Structure 1
């Protein structure tokens, strides 16, 4: 853990300032819907927007995530806009076994943009993470988390800050931290109630997470830098 903390801190000090070029929101939300029929194909995901909800839709990315054996996840990221919300993104994830049809796992259009999804393991199962940033200047988190348990995918409640209680001890995370999803870690400044929105004055912390009973849960805070006095 000490080595990992040193590497993470070094990357942060070498990179852009918190809350500037790499804003990461503090609250994660996602949506799980059924895919429309007929089922798309892996080739169509690379060429054409499916489940079109965005005007001017274009395919921003597509790919595959192997799970085990002949089971895999296919994904598509979309760019476009709506008259109501302006510029935004779309994310679709499908599961396929062998040469069978693609079955919907995620269909989300709440974010301003999505990034390529990834898989990581937690104690309670295989976790699918699709990072997303919300529309607007606030750069809120619109990431989607799903966990595979008992042969199916279930949405993860990502409102972790609402449950942090004594661990945060009155402090807040107002911008998206630097997420390290494979390690279930995040690094972020912490805000006191009276701090300005731009700048957290309660120090810099490394946050550890797990998925407990279907909820993204903060399990530990390790301070990396002292608070401003």
Structure 2
């Protein structure tokens, strides 16, 4: 089925005029965004696609086709996951099908958020695109559960945690991507139990571009993922100097302090260890 969809999309995209290819990609993006539990990540992907199309020497036809296929597959998967009715007793033994092959679930449980129960499941397996992978699913309901948020961008995830800011609850899932950069696969959501979609994605990535440059000490950089602590809404990181090797940061370590404003994670302080 996936192969047939990809071939059909490929033929249509390749045969289309440039404007039609662009519109086809935009339509696939919009459909995927409507179904996704993490639409802000799709917005970031769209920005990447747009920037590449404008770059010198870009193969516009190829990138339009690639992103169209990617968004079409994501939209179909997420629409399917949203339609699932998961039997509560099966959660401890059967993976909720979010697209991981050879899936097993090593752990799961529930969060009691002032009387509102949010079930969760962690997963391990692989995907043809990324190889070994891990995933998480957050669900609401009682006997028949409904998936509200999910993802499998990382190779490892921690059990979700509740964060309270005044009377607003947030749910954080710490995760790590594959590779030496151990970049973040974390997900953070605002929990509104009575909303049609109770979990709203928090932008937990733009702080690197918007907030971090103005807080880094001169001559120091952050090259890899950071280790979030959702109990305190902080993170720990090493600091690199330009001449350092990727393996060996020499600038010490720091604590990053965050706030959540308008559904965005905002970096407010960088506290370098030992600095006065």
User: Normalization by structure 2: what TM-score?
Assistant: 0.63
Give 2:200's match in structure 1, choosing from 149, 154, 173: 154
Give unmatched runs, 5+ long, in structure 1.
1-29
Given the superposition, is the C-alpha separation of residues 51 and 110 from structure 1 closer, same or farther in structure 2, using an over 3 Å criterion? same
Which residue number corresponds to residue 234 of structure 2? Answer: 185
Between the two structures, name the one with larger relative contact order (CA 8 Å, sep ≥ 6): 1
Report if aligned partners of 1:75, 1:94 keep a CA contact under 8 Å in 2: yes
1:124, distance to aligned residue in structure 2 (A):
7.9
How big is each residue's C-alpha offset from its partner over 1:180-210, in whole Å with a ceiling of 9 and x where there is no partner?
A: 2201122222223333212223332121111
Report the Cα offset of residue 119 of structure 1.
0.7
Q: 1:199 aligns to what?
A: 248
Runs of 4+ in 1 over 4 A off after TM superposition: none
Structure 1 partner of 2:87: 41
1:120–1:128 CA contact under 8 A, matched in 2 = yes
Task: Map 1:39-188; keep pairs closer than 5 Å.
Answer: 39-69=85-115, 71-96=116-141, 99=142, 101-123=144-166, 125-149=168-192, 151=195, 152-159=198-205, 160-164=207-211, 165-169=213-217, 171-188=220-237
Check 1:187–1:52 CA distance in 2 against 1; reply closer, same or farther (3 A cut): closer
Check 1:58–1:202 CA distance in 2 against 1; reply closer, same or farther (3 A cut).
same
CA drift at 1:100: 6.6
SS at match of 2:214: helix
Q: Aligned partners of 1:185 and 1:58: how far apart in 2?
A: 31
After superposition, give the CA deviation of every residue in 1:76-102 in whole Å (9 maximum; x if it has no partner): 111111222111012110123xx4742
Q: 1:123 to 1:198 in 2, by over 3 A?
A: farther
The whole-number CA distance in structure 2 between the counterparts of 1:193 and 1:124 is 43
Is the Cα contact below 8 Å between 1:95 and 1:103 reproduced in 2? Answer: yes
More strand by share: 1
- Residues 88, 143 of structure 2: 8 Å contact kept: no
Instruction: Give the Å deviation of 1:52.
Output: 4.5
Contact kept, 8 Å, 1:42 with 1:74, in 2: the verdict is no
Query: 1 CA distance for matches of 2:167 and 2:242?
Result: 34
Q: Output the TM-score relative to the length of structure 1.
A: 0.75
Deviations 1:21-78 (A, max 9, x none): xxxxxxxxx8365634341132111110112412211112111000122x11101111
- Higher helix proportion (structure 1 or 2): 2
Higher Cα Rg: structure 1 or 2? 2
